[in-house]
């Protein structure tokens, strides 16, 4: 009569939570912010990449803990806000990446996200969510006109998804063996 039942399905019980070597996340963030700051200065076409967003998505999907994803997204967003200069209001990226980090962790806890096609699709989805949140923030909070969708955003989503698949494969090497 006092039995407990595991209500999780078979697929949910076999999803592995990945652990990373000590300092791997901090090291990754230092490299990503360095690249995000200096690559567009020398290669203007690379300004389309949002490397901090890709790292937020990766660690959110890998860690599979919504509170960790939320806090990591918040930290990455606020660091990006502080490095963006006076043209970006403080908190703009912080809010957007907090929500994306939470959603990525929540989805990562329910789905197996190791396949490149799943990573590609989820990166496009989260890029769209991120851009939608930024548009809402600019329109509602800052009363600035902002375009909801453009061909430039679609191209940016595709490019970020392709780069994300390769970046995620590279970041998989930072995991601790299970």
Q: Is 26 exposed, middle or buried (0-12, 13-18, 19+ CB in 10 A)?
A: exposed
Token look-up 């994306």 returns: 100
Q: What whole-number distance in Å separates Cα of residue 139 and Cα of residue 133?
A: 10
| Per-residue pLDDT of the chain in tens (178 residues, 90 and over written 9) | 455 544 444 444 456 677 887 788 999 999 999 999 898 889 988 889 999 999 999 999 988 889 999 999 999 999 999 988 888 889 999 999 999 999 999 998 888 788 899 999 999 999 999 999 999 999 998 888 888 888 999 999 999 999 999 999 999 888 877 6
To the nearest 5 percent, what fractions of the chain are helix, strand and coil? Answer: 70, 0, 30
104 neighbors 69 (Cβ within 8 angstroms):
yes
pTM of the model: 0.87
Closest CA to 80 of 94, 68, 70: 94
End-to-end CA distance of the chain: 36
* pLDDT score for 114: 84
Spell out the alpha helix ranges (H) of 43-150. Answer: 51-63, 66-83, 92-108, 116-136
CA angle 135, 93, 128 (to 5 degrees): 50
* pLDDT score for 11: 46
Go through 93-118 and write b for each residue having 16 or more CB atoms within 10 A of its CB, e for each that does not. bbbbbbbbbbbbbbbbbebebeeeee
Q: Which two tokens stand for residue 175?
A: 């995991």
Tell me the domain boundaries of the chain.
Answer: 50-174
Instruction: Give the three-class secondary structure for 175.
Output: strand
């Amino acid at each position: 009569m006092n039995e407990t039942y595991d209500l999780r399905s078979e697929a949910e019980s076999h999803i592995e939570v990945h652990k990373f070597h000590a300092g791997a996340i901090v090291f990754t963030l230092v490299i990503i912010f360095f690249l995000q700051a200096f690559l567009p200065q020398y290669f203007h076409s690379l300004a389309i990449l949002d490397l901090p967003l890709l790292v937020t998505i990766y660690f959110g999907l890998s860690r599979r803990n919504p509170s960790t994803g939320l806090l990591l997204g918040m930290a990455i967003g606020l660091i990006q806000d502080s490095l963006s200069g006076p043209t970006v209001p403080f908190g703009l990226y912080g809010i957007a990446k907090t929500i994306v980090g939470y959603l990525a962790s929540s989805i990562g806890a329910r789905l197996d996200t190791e396949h490149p096609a799943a990573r590609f699709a989820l990166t496009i989805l989260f890029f769209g969510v991120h851009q939608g949140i930024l548009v809402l923030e600019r329109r509602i909070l800052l009363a600035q006109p902002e375009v909801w969708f453009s061909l430039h955003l679609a191209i940016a989503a595709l490019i970020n998804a392709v780069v994300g698949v390769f970046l995620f494969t590279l970041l998989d090497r930072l995991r601790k063996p299970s």
